[in-house]
Amino acid sequence: MLLVKVGGGRVDKSVIAREVKAIGMEMVFVHGANVMRNVLSRELGQPTEYITSPSGVISTYTNQRALEILIMAYSLANVQWVAAFLRSGVRAVGLSGADGSMWIGNHKKYIVKVEAGKEILVTDTFTGKVTSVNHELLRLLIDQGYLPVITQPAITADGILINTDNDLNVAKMAAALQVTELVILFGAPGFLMNVTDPKSVVSRIAKGQIDELLPRAEGTMKKKLMGAKLAFELGVKRIYWGDARVKNPIQSALEGSGTVVE
């Protein structure tokens, strides 16, 4: 089984849907929708706010309204992905992490942000971390030939919807489904040492190097590394980071044209 995650940038859904059909393996598909979320946020007069944690990790600030906007944008993307898969002959079923309590997480009731050198406590935040994955629902669908197409939000055991990190969730899902290889596609040719320089791609990373790269990595690349770190801790053997915008993104990543972490 292959676990594929595609980031929330501008990608051609039809290209990836056709490739998934051509590969023809059992798969679980996870996607983001950051760009659509940002557009909708602006249209609704509440542009996405970013906050920086004391350890330098940048996250989006998700209050109740921002969570609703996020759910709307991610759900629309989810339905569009499902339609693209169906057009390619893949029997896709869209799910959010809340469905059947698939992604159960902890609600981080407050977060600390750093602004102008000061640490500020932020409440009214609906983010958290997924702690367990209901693989039963996934197995049920996969065994009947359906492709689960999954996106935010997750949900707490008390039924509170929360925004979580897809890179970490994919690691958790890999463990729950006993998948040992991950394909993670995004809008860059692979892991970039310098996020603004596409030529700074690192083609191979040994899992032992993750800890030393972490403090030097920036933005979304830092998140990728944190996801990879968790994935290896949970039993994943190899992660393929690749470009979502090329002709055969999954195959290209599997052939090592991006970054292979192992």
CA dist 67 and 51 (Å) reads 15
What are the residues whose beta carbons fall under 8 Å from the beta carbon of 141, sequence distance 6 or more?
93, 147, 148
Q: Using the rule CB under 8 A, is 146 a contact of its own copies?
A: yes
Options 16, 51, 71, 210; binder of its own copies; rule CB under 8 A? 71
Compare residues 145 and 208 and give the one whose CB is closer to its own copies: 145
Q: Using the rule CB under 8 A, is 42 a contact of its own copies?
A: no
The string of DSSP letters for 21-35 reads HHH---EEEEE--HH
CA dist 214 and 193 (Å) reads 10
107-145 burial code (b ≥16 CB/10 A, e <16) = beeebebeeeeeeeebeebbbbbbeebbbebbeebbeee
Q: Using the rule CB under 8 A, is 35 a contact of its own copies?
A: no
Range 213-252, binding its own copies (CB under 8 A): none
Options 44, 57, 112, 120; binder of its own copies; rule CB under 8 A? 44
Q: Using the rule CB under 8 A, is 66 a contact of its own copies?
A: no
Compare residues 147 and 205 and give the one whose CB is closer to its own copies: 147
The string of DSSP letters for 223-240 reads HHHHHHHHHHHTT--EEE
Site track 85-104 with its own copies (rule: CB under 8 A), x = hit: -xx---xxxxxx-xxxx---
Options 20, 27, 82, 228; binder of its own copies; rule CB under 8 A? 82
Q: Compute the least distance from the CB of residue 259 to its own copies, in Å.
A: 33
Give CA angle at 121 (55, 115), nearest 5°: 60
Contact positions toward its own copies, by CB under 8 A?
Answer: 40, 43-44, 68, 71-73, 75-76, 78-80, 82-84, 86-87, 91-96, 98-101, 136-137, 140-141, 144, 146, 153, 155, 158-161
